[in-house]
Amino acid sequence: MIAPTKNASHLETVRRNGHAAAREKTLQSRADLSDQAEALNQLAQVLAGAVKSLVAAAEALVLTKVSDIELGIDFYAEMQRYELLLIQRALRQAKGSQVKAAALLKLSPTTLNSKIKLYAGRAGEANERTARLSLLP
């Protein structure tokens, strides 16, 4: 029969080893989660860059789209379309700030605001809220 002190000592050693193994497993799990979080963060940055590139490419395509001159175009309508695209792009770049967007376009904030109201009114007299939202980034 094992002496009670020896048995208690053995149990204490097993308990310590168990805690150490559990602690080691927890630390490894944390390290794995940290690695996974870092990989996800890097992937998110790559995807954000890809989205920015796609948006820029789409904007370039839209800005270069010109109506067929042979069929005749409405010069003023084309100028308004281009102006609206520039306003939308500036608002997106300025994260919705009209003051910053106006500075990017070298306009006064009041002029930009009037143009936004003008285009919102033309685009959606039936539904002004939707028209205003379409101007925002």
94 Cβ neighbours under 8 A, 6+ residues apart: 100, 101, 103, 104, 137
CA distances for 3 relative to 6, 16, 32, 117, angstroms? 5, 20, 43, 91
What pLDDT sits at residue 113? 94
Region 16-38: what's the mean pLDDT?
Answer: 79
Whether residue 131 is predicted with pLDDT greater than 50 in this model: the reply is no
Q: What is the pLDDT of residue 126?
A: 42
Note the pLDDT of residue 109. 96
Q: For the chain, how long is the longest CA-to-CA vector? A: 107
pLDDT band at 5 (very low <50, low <70, confident <90, very high): low
Give 77-126 pLDDT, tens digit per residue.
Answer: 888 888 998 999 999 999 999 999 999 999 999 999 999 998 888 766 54
| 2 contact partners, CB below 8 Å, separation of at least 6 | 10
Which CATH number is 66-135's, of 1.10.10, 1.10.3470, 3.30.70, 1.20.120?
Answer: 1.10.10
Which of 85, 41, 34, 93 has its CA nearest to residue 64? 85
This prediction has a pTM of: 0.49
Residue range 56-81, pLDDT digits in tens:
777 777 666 666 777 788 888 888 88
Dihedral of the alpha carbons of 105, 110, 115, 117, in degrees to the nearest 10: 140
**CB count in 10 Å sphere of residue 85:** 14
